[in-house]
Amino acid sequence: MPASPIVVVTGLPRSGTSLAMQMLVAGGMRALTDGARQADPDNPRGYFELEAVKRLPAETAWLNDASGRVVKIIHALVSHLPDDRDYRVLFMRRDILEVVRSQATMLARWGHAGSSLSPERLAAVYAAQLAGLDKWLAAHPCFRVLQVDYSSLVSSPLAEAAAINRFLGGALAESAMAAAVDPSLYRNRLKPVN
């Protein structure tokens, strides 16, 4: 019997990856996380990260525990995953200028200077990285991808939970997933939620 797919939540930093993890856990999935990064004012419900992920491609042993579970992987590291497994990818999409604004707010709160690039230039760099990852994923059939729009997720959580559940096989609790969405945590938005 083949192993269950590894569910990967990815996207730019501050694109809603932690929210997607919260939803999947609320819906009944087990997360692959170590709890090393604690909740804070920028992510009051937690980050759901696994430190070992940051050591891709050098360290992949943790993948042996990932079958049937969900793991969060930043967009820049997804292409380092080995193609000898089956993956289901939730690719979180958020307006890139909102991402840049949210990152700047978080870094300022931490007392860090942030990027030396202008917001527009950083947005262009991110857009190029996302386009490259889209192309890479399309060329690797072991990755099936669902694009998830952050704004739609916040404004229509039940409909988006249903789409995510269908993509992942239909065994998740959609109402619990939708209930995990807190619209008040959609900060640094450029336009109102529909």
150 within a domain of the structure (yes/no): yes
112 within a domain of the structure (yes/no): no
114 within a domain of the structure (yes/no): no
Q: What is the pTM of this model?
A: 0.88
The per-residue pLDDT for 40 is 67
106 within a domain of the structure (yes/no): no
Domain that holds residue 48: 6-95+142-181
88 within a domain of the structure (yes/no): yes
Q: pLDDT: is 117 or 158 the higher one?
A: 158
Q: In what order do the strands lie in the sheet with 143-149?
A: 70-72, 6-11, 87-93, 143-149
List beta partners, residue 149: 93
- The per-residue pLDDT for range 16-70, each reduced to its tens digit, is 999 999 999 999 999 999 987 777 666 667 778 999 999 999 999 999 999 999 9
Say yes or no to pLDDT of 129 above 70: yes
Cα dist. 159→129, 148, 164, 174 in Å? Answer: 28, 11, 9, 9
- The per-residue pLDDT for range 66-97, each reduced to its tens digit, is 999 999 999 999 999 999 999 999 999 999 98
49 within a domain of the structure (yes/no): yes
Structural domain total, the chain: 1
